[in-house]
Structure 1
């Protein structure tokens, strides 16, 4: 028995000769181009993560709000604790927001830890442009 197209087990399609023109040769692969793109992507992601870590991620300088009191139309007293290296200094960005979420005050506060203390408690009075509802510490970083 001869083999027909119906009994052939090949997965590749069979085209009649000279009917559809000649088939293109497979494209030459460029593995170096793919590797170069992967290296460039890794480099860009590495730079972005380093920048974001420098901006937001230093766990050495961590702040916790203890309380905010003495709230009036023009001020808010913010009490917070900052974790810094022993005897180190930090600069913390603090802000106050109103009931609708608008920022009514923002300042940078320098925190100097006494020798041997890693978590100084700081009291700071913010002067606001309107009635504040909440006081926050946005971030802390090493003092220059």
Structure 2
């Protein structure tokens, strides 16, 4: 019961956290439901992060839309190398641009040529001559893309 002087017969509730002593240093353990909730939240976060990582990895390193691979080369002299290569593309109706280059004995790039592969077949074999600034020992395909620059586009 309450009286007019503010004194109550009911005991006062204890403060939730003691200010000193072992209970202040070592808090009361979480309930089973609280631990389960954090475990589920952490598990869902790990699964979502794994899915995002898998998606990004597939987009970055998965099967490319266009790929080019050198299959051979002929050194034509001290200023040229001929490169034979194949280009594979998923959509044969799309033109492709490839960068073919010659490299010297020390690994330096000594010649480069951009080549337009017009729309046509899924797999195309090509041969390109790359003129070099000094003798080349190898010819290779640096890369291919379906994003053909405007200066390689044929006149319409």
2:61 is the counterpart of 1:72: no
After superposition, what is the alpha-carbon deviation per residue over 1:82-134, rounded to whole angstroms, capped at 9, x for unaligned? 234545432222222211222223333211255xx443332211122322111
Task: State the 1:37 CA deviation.
Answer: 4.5
Give the TM-score, by structure 2 length: 0.57
Inter-partner Cα distance in structure 2 for 1:65 and 1:94: 9
Provide the aligned length of Structure 1 versus Structure 2: 119
Inter-partner Cα distance in structure 2 for 1:81 and 1:52: 20
CA RMSD after TM alignment: 3.1
Q: Larger % of helix: which?
A: 2
Give the TM-score, by structure 1 length: 0.60
C-alpha contact (below 8 Å) 2:96/2:118 kept by paired residues: yes
- Could you tell me which runs of 5 or more consecutive residues in structure 2 were left unpaired when the two chains were aligned: 1-20, 149-156
Inter-partner Cα distance in structure 1 for 2:125 and 2:46: 49
- Could you tell me which runs of 5 or more consecutive residues in structure 1 were left unpaired when the two chains were aligned: 1-19
After superposition, what is the alpha-carbon deviation per residue over 1:26-70, rounded to whole angstroms, capped at 9, x for unaligned? 3443132442343134324422431333xxx32x64434333124
After superposition, what is the alpha-carbon deviation per residue over 1:11-40, rounded to whole angstroms, capped at 9, x for unaligned? xxxxxxxxx945543344313244234313
2:136 is the counterpart of 1:103: no
Q: Whose Rg is larger?
A: 2
Mapping of residues 1-144 of structure 1, within 5 Å: 21-22=22-23, 23-27=26-30, 28-29=34-35, 30=38, 31-53=40-62, 57-58=63-64, 61-84=66-89, 85-86=91-92, 88-114=94-120, 117-144=121-148
Q: More displaced, 78-87 or 99-108? A: 78-87
Task: State the 1:139 CA deviation.
Answer: 3.0
